[in-house]
Chain A
């Protein structure tokens, strides 16, 4: 486990070290000015959230259909990370919106479905905490429903006329903005992977602890 950590750790640290400099040098967006700089953390945090949600969904599917307990541990890690990165996205978004749109929150398709998806993973964690022993399978099913929402969130901005920028805006960034965005995106994705590995490690150690307790009883 340790060897896989080192390169990822260095990559994340390097990306995060360079990110603020790149952001600081990025030009001001013509209409929104400085507040647009939140973009460099807001969008990557959602990318990390989508990644974590998908990892949680796929791991849950494998655990549910193939019955492999180790994937359930990965799913828990994915769910927790979805909640953390979703929280960052859900806070940085309105901070940006306050200036750009003049209002903290707007009930349009993109924001609502993103909030719904985040609530599903919060429900996942609540279920695991209070559901008692048999709740792993049910939380896996919940994660599957959560993951079914991921494409819906992504497409919702294109289907309905929403005040939220279209997904195409990322591709059409001018190069000066594109570079810092890529750095931040890389930073967040590698941070997400790093935290996922750490969290899975924690779950594995907990499983080992349970094994030891069982062995103790024999």
Chain B
């Protein structure tokens, strides 16, 4: 190995101090891209979460079938339960990988500011859940005859807002549970009470879209409630991520 020429006693360490730290968004994108590349390579979390979500929907479908026809009004609830459960699974798996390789610790050692790490991880989880929802929603439409395409844009907004609210809290807790004992059971215990309002708003909003006489203003009301929750949860998470990650 050609050994680097040793600079006598010159203070090399001093002169080549790194440039100013990269901006918030650049750091967040750096972490998201890394997560997506890892996920694209192993695809482990996508496949497992997807299969889990599909089996979740099937199980519910069987339980609500009457004389061969699945209950029409159960579609919204089932869709959101599948999202919530697979979301918890995906969060647990994503951070389990960080724990096993202790890589989050290395990230905490770099000068990146912590909220950017949080946003980066959050975006990674959201991308994952978007893939799951893109497949589960048509499945629910197929099995329950839910009119998914009638107000596709509003439905997509509801799903996005609900998933952001759910994942915002989930990412924060999953990251902090890395050191805790029995974290697999603690994540749902902590996550569901906090995100119940988000799930209720999501189910009610989606339910309104699926029913025969669609009540659009009501759906928009639930959407605005979801956005309100997203803002509250994300800001609260951004404030608390830094002190909470400090041991």
Contacts and interface: CB of A to CB of B under 8 A. Distances in A.
Contacts of B194: 120, 142, 145-146
Nearest to A64: B243
Contacts of A67: 243
A132 interface: yes
Given A123-B193, A145-B194, A148-B232, A138 B243 contact: no
Nearest to A67: B243
Place the interface of chain B in its size category.
Answer: 20 to 34
A50 B182 CA distance: 30
A126 interface: yes
Contacts of B84: none
Interface in B18-60: none
A86 to B, nearest CB: 12
B154 to A, nearest CB: 21
Interface stretch (B2-10, B120-128, B169-177): B169-177
A183 B93 CA distance: 53
Contacts, number: 74
Contact of B186 (A122, A126, A137, A140): A126
Interface string B186-206: 100110111011001000000
A138 B236 contact: no
- Interface secondary structure of B, over-half rule: helix
A140 B240 CA distance: 9
A119 B177 contact: no
Nearest to B240: A141
User: Which of B176, B193, B247 neighbours the largest number of chain A CB atoms within 10 Å of its CB?
Assistant: B193
A123 B197 CA distance: 16
B181 A131 contact: yes
Nearest to B173: A138
B108 interface: no
Interface string A97-125: 00000000000000011001001101100
B190 A123 contact: yes
Given A112-B200, A144-B236, 10 more contacts: A65-B243, A130-B181, A131-B182, A137-B243, A137-B246, A138-B176, A140-B240, A142-B194, A145-B169, A152-B197
24 contacts: A64-B240, A113-B197, A116-B196, A116-B197, A119-B192, A120-B193, A120-B194, A122-B193, A126-B186, A126-B189, A127-B190, A130-B185, A130-B186, A131-B180, A131-B181, A131-B182, A134-B247, A137-B244, A138-B173, A138-B180, A141-B172, A144-B236, A145-B233, A149-B197
